[in-house]
Amino acid sequence: MGLRAGVVAAVVAACAAWPALGQDAAPVTDTLKQAGETAEQTINKFAEVVKGDPWRYGHFIAAGVAIIVALAADLARPGSLQRAGVRKLGEHASLTWFLCGVLVLGAQLVGSGFAGYLPVSWRGTDPASLQYQAVMQGASYAAALVTAFVLVRILHSSSKGAGLGFTARGFAWGLLGFFLAWPIVMSASIGFVALHEKIEGAKIASELGHPTLKLLTDNQASPYAWMLGLCAIVAAPLVEEIIYRGFVQSSVHRLTNSPWIAIGVASLLFAGVHAIPGKNAAGEWVFSIPWYSAATVGVLGLCCGIAYERTKEIGVPIAMHIMFNLTNVVLALVVTA
């Protein structure tokens, strides 16, 4: 009976105090209402901004989500690569890995030189023509691919843990890696372009940052343009990922015993090589791609490098790179249609 009487007394006291409690709670209720209205206005303004430029802000939002997923899944946190287990590079010295990359690059030059001995009817006579460029690039990549696959087979046989094997699982993981990396790379690209425009005080002349994209979109009826496109979509990712991830990154990893340093150095070289200047049709020295495009390539290299170290399969960055180039080609064709 004592417990029941106590509960009844507490209920009666609460009922008696309710009016006063309601009066004291009124300011809190008003504050919460104002906060809710402010939050709603902020959300509406944000929605209007996103609707004004869905491509830009959609990528920013998607990039934030991708980064959160990568952190939550322990894909790119401090120590994540060590926790997943580092690649086993066998007994090969750092110089051996590096020289393999140099050999593949040299094979590209040899392939281009060999193409110069092909019949004129095959390659044409004008170095600025699509036919000439397509034949030269085709021969260059063919020589590089043969050399790369021979070296990969030799090193893979003696360094099973280096991640140089090709598996269907690796390409499947590469597709997932592409979907995580795409918004991050494109957000970086948008930021680099905005910085360039801020510095120069003018809009960029073309959204097509790579000359191959412009050649393809301007000459869609030419089979040579499509040959160049095929080189860019398939051959270039195969050769470049084997060189910069498979060989250069492994070389720096072996030298420094740090996968993160290896990823950074390989990505910087990857970006720098894309920006190496050359002579145009008029004989003028120009950068092959603008700096903001090269910087974007560097971010792609970082994503591919992390994916390679995390999965230990060279097929992962290759698939990511192929999908990235393919998507850019498709978008370029759609935009210019």
User: pLDDT digits over 269-295, tens only?
Assistant: 999 998 876 555 555 555 578 889 999
- Span of 70-74, 206-210, 326-330 with lowest mean pLDDT: 206-210
- pLDDT, position 96: 96
- pLDDT, position 21: 47
Strands (E), 53-126: none
- pLDDT, position 41: 67
- In this predicted model, what pLDDT tens digit does every residue of 98-123 receive, in sequence order? 999 999 999 999 998 888 888 888 88
The pTM score is: 0.83
DSSP, res 209: -
Summarize the confidence of residues 239-258 as an average pLDDT.
96
pLDDT band at residue 14 using 50, 70 and 90 as cut-offs: very low
Please tell me the distance from the alpha carbon of residue 121 to that of residue 21, in angstroms, as a whole number. 95
- pLDDT, position 37: 67
Do 209 and 292 form a contact (C-beta atoms < 8 A)?
Answer: yes
Summarize the confidence of residues 197-226 as an average pLDDT.
82
- pLDDT, position 234: 96
- pLDDT, position 2: 52
- In this predicted model, what pLDDT tens digit does every residue of 174-199 receive, in sequence order? 999 999 999 999 999 999 999 999 99
Do 210 and 218 form a contact (C-beta atoms < 8 A)?
Answer: no
- 297: tokens are 């390539």
Question: Residue 285 is inside which H or E element, if any?
Answer: strand 285-287
SS3 of 288, please? coil
SS3 of 74, please? coil
- pLDDT, position 46: 64
pLDDT band at residue 26 using 50, 70 and 90 as cut-offs: low
* Residue with the larger pLDDT of the pair 168 and 32: 168
Do 162 and 307 form a contact (C-beta atoms < 8 A)?
Answer: no
- pLDDT, position 9: 52
Residues 6+ apart with CB under 8 A from 178: 319, 320, 323, 324
Given a cut of 70, whether residue 266 has pLDDT beyond it is yes
